[in-house]
Chains A and B, each alone.
Chain A
Amino acid sequence: MKTYYNPEDLKKFGNIGEFQPSLAEKFFAYYGEVFAEGALTAREKSLIALAVAHTVQCPYCIDAYSVDTLEKGCSEQEMMEAIHVAAAIRGGSSLVHGVQMMNKVKELSM
């Protein structure tokens, strides 16, 4: 069955340099450095990435960072809590616009 997303394509991510090598090289060097141990641990960064993967709803990233967080010894509870953070921000970002709606409604109402 043909689909827009093919799990096998994740393994080909490194091949994007085929069409534009220098930018790909710079991107992957930057990517590697972003995820290295720093002021945040590699483990913390992986949990952030897992949450962001759900926010941007990227199936490749969800697969990749489910594995990465497991490899880094995150518990299943930690992984789900990270996703709840993403969900809370997404939900909250809709809801906070309710203030704008209220402002408008109050402006127009007697």
Chain B
Amino acid sequence: MKSLHATQHALADPLTQLDRLEAGLRDQLGLPLFQQRLAEAGLFPLRPTQMEIFQINLGKMCNQTCAHCHVDAGPDRKEIMTRDTMQLCLDALATSDVPTVDLTGGAPEMNPHFRWFVEECHKLGKHVMVRCNLTIIVANPKYHDLPAFYRDHGVEIVSSLPFYNADKTDRQRGKGVFKESVRALQMLNAVGYGKEGSGLLLNLVYNPAGAFLPGPQEGLKRQFKRVLWSEFGIVFNDLYAITNMPISRYLDYLFTSGNFNGYLEKLVNAFNPAAAQGVMCRNTLSVSWDGYLYDCDFNQMLELPVAPTAPRHIRDFDDSALQQRDIVLHQHCYGCTAGAGSSCGGTTT
């Protein structure tokens, strides 16, 4: 499977995605736009709270090409962060009280400067999280020692596993991914990850393999824990249930499967003001592979930079100026406010 970008698909263009979302909501379904719903909830304009997370996207290169990927990542994507841009991130982090650095991609580990960057973030006393796709650990012998590297730097691992069986996982993430993910999880467990008292956090991300919303997070966690332990001897700490965002490849899936209208309707009808209060863009700053600043990783992929009143590149980082900005919103934001809410850390209510 190739990325939308590589096949020059119409939906590789963020503007086309945004237009089709808005037209679908307003013209086809006659539903209120996100900004309107937020205003009714007394939250418009949406403003940041305390900045707690620097989410840095180290690049779009990935060893997998998942059917739902909002980044449109894959082996054919070559955009990755340079060491110079990483240094700019470190300079910003050194001046900031932000406690957590959340590294994502693509597969962030494929960036040749990844380990140096983790070490430097660790030296600054930051809590480092890596969004590891698991299969990268077993993809090549040069990555086999990643679990030990993570352990030595106290890295928190957050890994996608959309289901506790091969069938559904492979349909979303590619053939053979479940088997390799199980092997990688066992390697992470072997160095202490997910084990009680180790202090090494291993959290899984569940997102629906289809056009439906995630159910209650606690119930899903219980089921994943039971099956992964009984069938594979795997342990993990927490499970984050994340709603699929109607953008990029997932948006393409919604159109081709005939689920676009139904899914949008579901998101809008499930709008929850309490979830809107806790959306992650309020305490997160997202940095792209080329150093530009966004309110979240989804806005980054839609090329919706932070409001022009704020600095827009990491070289100009200014915590207090960023705190004054209005968060940039569009119709995809319904994905974070449905039901119990959705963020990179799971539900928000």
Contact = CB atoms under 8 A, between A and B. Distances in A.
Interface of A: 37, 41-43, 67-68, 70-73, 75-76
Contacts of A70: 208, 210, 212
A41 B223 CA distance: 11
Contacts of A75: 163-165, 167-168
Contact of B219 (A67, A72, A76): A72
A71 B222 contact: no
Given A68-B215, A71-B213, A75-B165, 19 more contacts: A37-B219, A41-B219, A42-B215, A43-B215, A43-B219, A43-B223, A70-B208, A70-B210, A70-B212, A71-B214, A71-B215, A73-B163, A73-B164, A73-B206, A73-B220, A75-B163, A75-B164, A75-B167, A76-B167
A59 to B, nearest CB: 16
Contacts of A76: 167-168
Across the A-B interface, give the 8 residue pairs with the lowest CB-CB distance, nearest first: A71-B215, A72-B215, A73-B220, A70-B212, A73-B223, A43-B219, A71-B212, A67-B212
B32 interface: no
Interface of B: 163-165, 167-168, 206, 208, 210, 212-216, 219-220, 222-224
27 contacts: A37-B219, A41-B219, A41-B222, A42-B215, A42-B216, A42-B219, A43-B219, A43-B223, A67-B212, A68-B215, A70-B208, A70-B212, A71-B208, A71-B212, A71-B214, A71-B215, A72-B216, A72-B219, A72-B220, A73-B163, A73-B206, A73-B219, A73-B223, A73-B224, A75-B163, A75-B165, A76-B167
Contacts of A68: 215
A37 B219 CA distance: 9
B55 to A, nearest CB: 26
Contacts of A72: 215-216, 219-220
Nearest to B221: A73
A66 B216 CA distance: 16
Nearest to A43: B219
Contacts of B223: 43, 73
A73 B215 contact: yes
Contacts of B220: 72-73
Nearest to A73: B220
Nearest to B227: A75
B164 to A, nearest CB: 8
A75 B168 CA distance: 8
A51 B163 CA distance: 22
A85 B234 CA distance: 31
